Structure 1
Amino acid sequence: MGITTAGSTTTAKVVGSLGVLAAAAAVAGMGTFGGFSDSTTPVSVPVATGTINIDATTTATVPVDASGLVPGASVSRAVTLANTGSLDLGALSMTIGATGSGVLTGPGGLQLTVTSCPVAWTAANSCAGTPTVVRTGGLTGQVPLAASSAMKAGQADHFLLTVSLPGTAGNQFQGQQSMVSLQFDAVQKTGTAR
């Protein structure tokens, strides 16, 4: 049997009370660190690339038969250039090339005039709108088409291509042949952050 004194009972009570207070503080502290949380449902964001697509069509026979061309004469063909892609263009150009007789393709030889019309050219090669001459010159070179309506997605430009033999052409132009090629090139617009 042990002997109990009044001081040790008080100490036991104080230690017991401190233990109860510590346990109560621990329980109360757990509530202090609680919290609520929430999350959204997944959001689907479609990401797709656009397309660049240009299409040149003509209602006339290509290649153009210009046989029998005499000085001062010309032959014309209408070509529709359509931007059938989903993106506006950053640059558009036409490259003109020619092979064959150097007399026809050189200085003073065949000339190519490119004229734009806001609507399709008629069968008689007339423009119901206001025509704009885009280029006049020899059979080689590159023509920037920055003002073309085909720069915009879903739009088209209507060109009349006229090849002419100058009226000053002499006998050295007789019996000559040349092949003219046209190529349209499109470049995308520079990407931007959205």
Structure 2
Amino acid sequence: MSTKFATIAASSTARKVVGSLGVIGAAAAVAGVGTFGTFTDSSTPANTTIDTATLDINAAAVGESIPVTTAGFVPGDSLTRAVNLVNSGTAALGSVNLNTTVAAASVLTTDFTNGLQLTVKSCSVPWTQGGVAGAPTYSCSGTTQVLGAGPVVSSINLANAASLAPGGTDYLTFSVSLPTTADNTFQGKTAALSLTFVGSQRTGTAR
């Protein structure tokens, strides 16, 4: 085997390959020696400032105070309170929802038909409060709209809310009622409700 390798190394073909590699290496070396620098230029800076928006939505009680605590509810009873929902931020919102959660479930919140019901209304102008202390009533001298109604534990989208726009205000009332169809199984029950308005940013766009 050693004799065979010696014969190949001595052939003219092997010498030509080695010679070619030597030429390539020399050319690369010459190119490296001749490279001193490159011309460059730059444009005038295009200064860009981006301020991010702020999302800030607030619900303020009007007239009667909130939180609300009531006792002795019977079928057919309801309680209503007014709130002003304000977009105090600098960004438009894509949606505003009223979400209701409950601390501990009971038949009052799990029976979607006979249990507590929630109704949300808006008025184009501030609501006028009447009734008596602790049991207010509200009337609207403008245009009234029902924004949502159903089981008390739910998420209600406030479609076309004025508070979608920065600085916008929605004049709202929310009412919690116990239907007349509630039977004896609803006696002596308690529901601790938390109503939260949630504003979500609009969809991002090219600016």
C-alpha deviations, 1:112-162, integer Å up to 9, x for none? 111111222122211121111111111211111231111011001111110
Could you tell me which residue of structure 1 aligns to residue 123 of structure 2? 117
Could you tell me which residue of structure 2 aligns to residue 158 of structure 1? 171
- Shift of residue 184, structure 1, vs aligned partner: 1.3
User: Alignment partner for residue 138 of structure 1, among 137, 151, 156?
Assistant: 151
C-alpha deviations, 1:80-109, integer Å up to 9, x for none? 110011111112211111234522112211
Could you tell me which residue of structure 1 aligns to residue 108 of structure 2? 104
User: Alignment partner for residue 61 of structure 2, among 58, 63, 73?
Assistant: 58
Q: Please say if 1:170 is aligned against 2:183.
A: yes
- Shift of residue 192, structure 1, vs aligned partner: 2.1
- Shift of residue 190, structure 1, vs aligned partner: 2.1
The CA distance in 2 between the partners of 1:190 and 1:139, in whole Å, is 29
The CA distance in 2 between the partners of 1:100 and 1:52, in whole Å, is 31
Superposition CA RMSD, Å: 2.0
Could you tell me which residue of structure 1 aligns to residue 133 of structure 2? none
TM-score normalized by structure 2?
0.68
The CA distance in 2 between the partners of 1:101 and 1:183, in whole Å, is 18
Letter in 2 for 1:58: A
C-alpha deviations, 1:49-105, integer Å up to 9, x for none? 221110011022222122111211111001111001111111221111123452211
- Shift of residue 181, structure 1, vs aligned partner: 0.8
The CA distance in 2 between the partners of 1:87 and 1:127, in whole Å, is 29
- Aligned residue for 2:54, secondary structure, equals coil
User: For 1:176-191, what aligned pairs fall within 5 Å after superposition?
Assistant: 176-191=189-204
The CA distance in 2 between the partners of 1:138 and 1:192, in whole Å, is 36
CA contact (8 A) 1:99 1:105 kept: no
- Aligned residue for 1:150, secondary structure, equals helix
CA contact (8 A) 2:147 2:159 kept: no
Could you tell me which residue of structure 1 aligns to residue 16 of structure 2? none
Flag structure 2 segments of 5+ consecutive residues without an equivalent. 1-42, 131-137
C-alpha deviations, 1:33-58, integer Å up to 9, x for none? xxxxxx98x88765322211100110
Letter in 1 for 2:170: D
Flag structure 1 segments of 5+ consecutive residues without an equivalent. 1-38
Could you tell me which residue of structure 2 aligns to residue 27 of structure 1? none
Bigger Rg, which one: 1
- Aligned residue for 2:192, secondary structure, equals strand
> CA separation of 1:170/1:58 partners in 2, compared to 1, >3 Å: closer, same or farther?
same
Could you tell me which residue of structure 1 aligns to residue 99 of structure 2? 95
Report the number of matched residues: 155
- Aligned residue for 1:123, secondary structure, equals strand
TM-score normalized by structure 1?
0.73
